A and B are shown apart, each in its own frame.
Chain A
Amino acid sequence: MSAVGVAHEHGHEQEHAHGAHGHHQQSFMQKYVFSTDHKMIGMQFLFTTLLMLMVGGALALGVRWQLAFPWTNMPIFGPLFANAGGQISPEFYTMLFTMHATVMIFLVVIPVLAGAFGNFLIPLMIGADDMAFPVLNMLSYWFMIPAIACFGMSFVYGGAAAGWTSYPLLSELRVAAPSSGPAQTYWLLGVTFVGVSSMMGSVNYMTTIINMRAPGMTLFRMPLTIWGMFITAILQAFALPVLTAAGFMLLFDRFAFGGWLEGIHTVFFTPAGIVVNNAAPTVGGGQPLLWQHLFWFYSHPAVYIMLLPAMGMTSDMLACMCRKPIFGYKPMVYSMSAIAGLGFIVWGHHMFTSGMNPALGMTFMVSTVMIALPSAVKVFNWIGTIWGGRLQFNTVTLHCIAFVSMFIVGGLSGIFMAAVPVDIYIHDTYIIVAHFHYVVFGTTMFGVFGAIQFWFPKMFGRKMNESVGKWHFLLTYIGFNGAFFPMHMLGIAGFPRRYADPYIHPYLEHLLPLNQFITISAMVMGFAQFLLLGNFVISIFNGQKAGRNPWNANGLEWFAPSPPGHGNFDIPPVCYRGPYEYSNPNRADQDFWMQTDPNRGPKKPAEVVAHGHT
């Protein structure tokens, strides 16, 4: 790191060491609500996303209820929708899966990774006292609130009903989806607010990681979590503006003002002469496929935004639980970078059947198939990490192994989709649903559940309950696989997505029992999350107390007190080595070697880069 960065670091440490000693009294509002402390913001994100996880899960169970028991009264939630007779109407069903995806993607997976863990871990793991821009950081959380409010308004108006992909013209012409009305507009505003929040986070993470690393924390001494967060931040910074722009284009297409505002009614995505629901033909010269290109230009990298931080966190947890260095640290970094780089040139694989130029289908197929390569390298390296380790089967380990195992399934099934001719048949069938749930839930969420257990002691100074954690894992794992593995078969049988009642089609009639099995599994998985919530909340107050380093891990975050005070570190950390020096033979007395440990071991003292400041 540059000398400027180090000097800057020092100034802050002194100032904040001061703060940590309690001279700096904060009101309740400052400390818990409008906090600029990255740890509090991270926890705010974590609480919000866990709450939203339950909302999104309830929406999913609504979808599953209709598919298993079509046109019957919903239990629990049915009485809330008395005007539909307690049933799920087709409009309501469309809203359910649209909002399920929206909530899960924009309010759970992206914010829990970048928002909660990114915020909490980045400064702690690189040895900084806070983010580079604390106020911006606070704003990034508070911009989630209008986003949630907008999605809430979307519910009030009947829910956006054009799928989370919101393809025009369905999402654009009000007459095409009469039930969605203002809901679609609110939905677009909500996505824009989430985008603003993510962008604020992204700028902050990049700046913090580049400028505020502790002395000695070179780029290749950063834990893989930080690499994952760093690459994710770059992805967001480059991909998000495209979605935001597309969102505004669609908003202006939707507006139909009169008077002097008439000029705002644009037709980016509207071709001429389209008659929807016997309304007047459209005037325009737009192209609906443009939206798909713009949308997927963000939303495919977003898949990696939803994955890379979890990959990084799992690498850190797995190395610690195996008491072994990560296998192939640099290949891990390079493969994450390769995934991110390739991630920008594969968006067209969502559009193989869309009618875009077939030559594009071929190029996107090659890039998409090749993105499986870095993913495979990562899997091999995780298996290599377990190889020869001394494994402790605690909840964290179980989630990490599930992460790798589920990623194998999700990654391999992706190859079907990458192959264009095969995708002709399976596009928009349930095999796609199976695939992305294996990646986004099976992989990312198992990583997140593990990470909650792993970093919980650092957040609250207490450990989570192990046996409840294991039950949660067991039920989630069984429920998850029971729900999503049979969906592969549904997809092969040609079962399309987003059908309120698939069984009116003769070739799908016989699939009802399989769907009922899936729904029961999904319920097991859904209700198992109450174990997580209960364990989480109760452990905050009653968990077993944990010291600074309950897992005997190496990272800088374990050098800080648990929970860390304002300003994080009571002793300014200096980094002497990489983060994965577990079971190093040069360290005879213990099987871990903290990055901050100035003890250089018996041999090769020159290997450690000593800074003048130490």
Chain B
Amino acid sequence: MRKFWCAFFVFSPIVAIIYSIISSMVPSLGWWFPGASVTELGQRIDNLFYLILYIITAVFIGTQVAMGYVLWRASRSKDERSWFSHGSHSLEVIWSVVPSVILLFLALYQMDVWALFRVQAYFPKEAREAPVAEVTARQFEWRIRYPAPGKKLQLKPQSDDLYDVNDLHVPINRPVMIQLRSEDVQHSFFLPHLRVKQDAVPGQIIPIWFKAERQGIFDLTCAELCGWGHYKMRAQLTAEREAEYEAYLKKLQADQNYDGHATPSAVAKKDE
């Protein structure tokens, strides 16, 4: 039985490691990140994730091996008595100082990515000065307000603002900033493929920026419990080329200005 239990406690971390390796190496299983990040900042976040992952994997293997070893020794002990020891001061010093250096390094190493993501002074200037849209979360949808083409987003809704629901369009290859707010309870704006997440807090307007570097349609979900329909705040982020983006805004404007008399496309032409 002793051998069984020793093997049991060594076996389970091995299974965990094999399972993790398979998950990370076989993307077709989908047990890992939903594809490489669409933003450069997201890739840096992934890199930080991997840095932590490598460190903790080393620690995990180290501690589990040490544990397996001491278990094996202790279960086979032929000695009449255990080793009488109250500990070792030098060991305590070593295993306090070494982890604290590593941990402190880890904490400080994360700072700049956080600052870039969240501290407004570090946002790219072009994004900060011209937010592309205001996203308002409500139970259970995302309302999106764009400024009219050629105008700047104002704090208060303007008569010529453009509206859409559950579909946020952004141009690729340039940093964009959106203003996030909540109309009712707390929500969280989560773009898994872009590694962006920010809570929408009632009563606050929170700016977020990102720079999509690939076109595509990405999931936009809510990550903060907002009521019974939390799971169904399904929306999408459409990252598209500048021209397509402008065309989309034009079409939105045309549809919005449609008065029932002319065909919508005619209205669009008149605006031009």
Residues in chain A near residue B9, CB distance under 8 A: 401-402, 405
Q: How far is the CA of A428 from the CA of B223 in the complex (A)?
A: 6
Say whether A533 faces chain B, with CB atoms less than 8 Å apart: no
Those of A492-511 within 8 Å (CB) of chain B: 492-494, 496-502, 504-507, 510-511
Say whether A289 faces chain B, with CB atoms less than 8 Å apart: yes
Those of B79-131 within 8 Å (CB) of chain A: 79, 81-88, 91-92, 95-96, 99-100, 103-104, 106-108, 110-111, 113-115, 117-119
> Is B195 in contact with A353, judged by CB distance below 8 angstroms?
no
Interface string of A268-287 (1 = CB under 8 A from B): 00011111110000000001
A361 is contacted by which of B30, B83, B114 (Cβ under 8 Å)? B114
* A170-B186 contact in complex given A358-B114, A408-B64, C-beta closer than 8 Å: yes
Interface string of A240-257 (1 = CB under 8 A from B): 000000000000000000
* A383-B185 contact in complex given A370-B107, A496-B221, C-beta closer than 8 Å: no
Q: How far is the CA of A499 from the CA of B219 in the complex (A)?
A: 15
Those of A575-594 within 8 Å (CB) of chain B: 580, 582-585, 591
Say whether A425 faces chain B, with CB atoms less than 8 Å apart: yes
Say whether A68 faces chain B, with CB atoms less than 8 Å apart: no
Residues in chain A near residue B110, CB distance under 8 A: 365, 419-422
Q: Which of A12-20, A108-116, A324-332, A597-605 participates in binding chain B?
A: A324-332
> Is B82 in contact with A582, judged by CB distance below 8 angstroms?
yes
Say whether A481 faces chain B, with CB atoms less than 8 Å apart: yes
Q: Which of B48-56, B141-149, B160-168, B250-258 participates in binding chain A?
A: B48-56
Among B64, B106, B201, B225, find the residue whose CB has the most chain A CB atoms closer than 10 A. B225
Residues in chain A near residue B226, CB distance under 8 A: 170
B34 is contacted by which of A496, A507, A591 (Cβ under 8 Å)? A507
A276 is contacted by which of B85, B111, B119, B185 (Cβ under 8 Å)? B185
Residues in chain B near residue A383, CB distance under 8 A: 63, 66-67, 70
Say whether A391 faces chain B, with CB atoms less than 8 Å apart: yes
> Is B99 in contact with A422, judged by CB distance below 8 angstroms?
no
* A493-B82 contact in complex given A369-B103, A390-B74, C-beta closer than 8 Å: no
> What total of chain A residues lie within 8 Å of the partner, measured CB to CB?
113
B48 is contacted by which of A422, A481, A490 (Cβ under 8 Å)? A422
Q: How far is the CA of A361 from the CA of B111 in the complex (A)?
A: 9
> Is A489 in contact with B32, judged by CB distance below 8 angstroms?
yes
Q: How far is the CA of A329 from the CA of B88 in the complex (A)?
A: 10
> Is A369 in contact with B86, judged by CB distance below 8 angstroms?
no
* Total CB contacts across the A-B interface at under 8 A: 323
A169 is contacted by which of B34, B103, B184 (Cβ under 8 Å)? B184
> Is A489 in contact with B23, judged by CB distance below 8 angstroms?
yes
Residues in chain B near residue A506, CB distance under 8 A: 219
Q: How far is the CA of A514 from the CA of B185 in the complex (A)?
A: 32
Q: How far is the CA of A500 from the CA of B231 in the complex (A)?
A: 6
* A354-B199 contact in complex given A416-B52, A421-B117, A492-B31, C-beta closer than 8 Å: yes
Say whether B75 faces chain A, with CB atoms less than 8 Å apart: yes
> Is B67 in contact with A415, judged by CB distance below 8 angstroms?
no
Q: How far is the CA of A423 from the CA of B230 in the complex (A)?
A: 21
Residues in chain A near residue B222, CB distance under 8 A: 496
Say whether A77 faces chain B, with CB atoms less than 8 Å apart: no
Interface string of B145-184 (1 = CB under 8 A from A): 0000000000000000000000000000000000000011
Say whether A81 faces chain B, with CB atoms less than 8 Å apart: no
> Is A391 in contact with B184, judged by CB distance below 8 angstroms?
no
Q: From residue B65, how far is it (CB to closest CB) to chain A in Å?
A: 10
> Is A424 in contact with B104, judged by CB distance below 8 angstroms?
no
Say whether A443 faces chain B, with CB atoms less than 8 Å apart: no
Q: How far is the CA of A287 from the CA of B201 in the complex (A)?
A: 9
Q: How far is the CA of A533 from the CA of B60 in the complex (A)?
A: 33
Q: How far is the CA of A493 from the CA of B190 in the complex (A)?
A: 13
Q: Which residue of B lies closest to A496 (CB)?
A: B223
Say whether B2 faces chain A, with CB atoms less than 8 Å apart: yes
> Is B219 in contact with A429, judged by CB distance below 8 angstroms?
no
Residues in chain B near residue A288, CB distance under 8 A: 186, 201-203
Residues in chain B near residue A94, CB distance under 8 A: 225, 227-228, 230
Say whether A177 faces chain B, with CB atoms less than 8 Å apart: yes
Say whether B214 faces chain A, with CB atoms less than 8 Å apart: no
B103 is contacted by which of A358, A370, A490, A591 (Cβ under 8 Å)? A370
Say whether A427 faces chain B, with CB atoms less than 8 Å apart: yes
List 11 A-B pairs, Cβ < 8 Å. Answer: A89-B228, A90-B232, A355-B201, A361-B118, A389-B70, A420-B110, A422-B48, A422-B110, A428-B197, A504-B232, A583-B81
Chain A residues with a Cβ under 8 A of chain B: 89-91, 93-94, 161-163, 167-170, 173, 176-177, 179, 271-277, 287-289, 322-329, 331, 353-355, 358-359, 361-362, 365-366, 369-370, 372-373, 376-377, 379-381, 383-384, 386-391, 393, 398, 401-402, 404-405, 408-409, 412-413, 415-416, 418-422, 424-425, 427-429, 477, 481, 485-486, 488-490, 492-494, 496-502, 504-507, 510-511, 514, 580, 582-585, 591
- 5 closest A-B pairs by CB: A271-B203, A388-B83, A494-B192, A328-B87, A499-B231
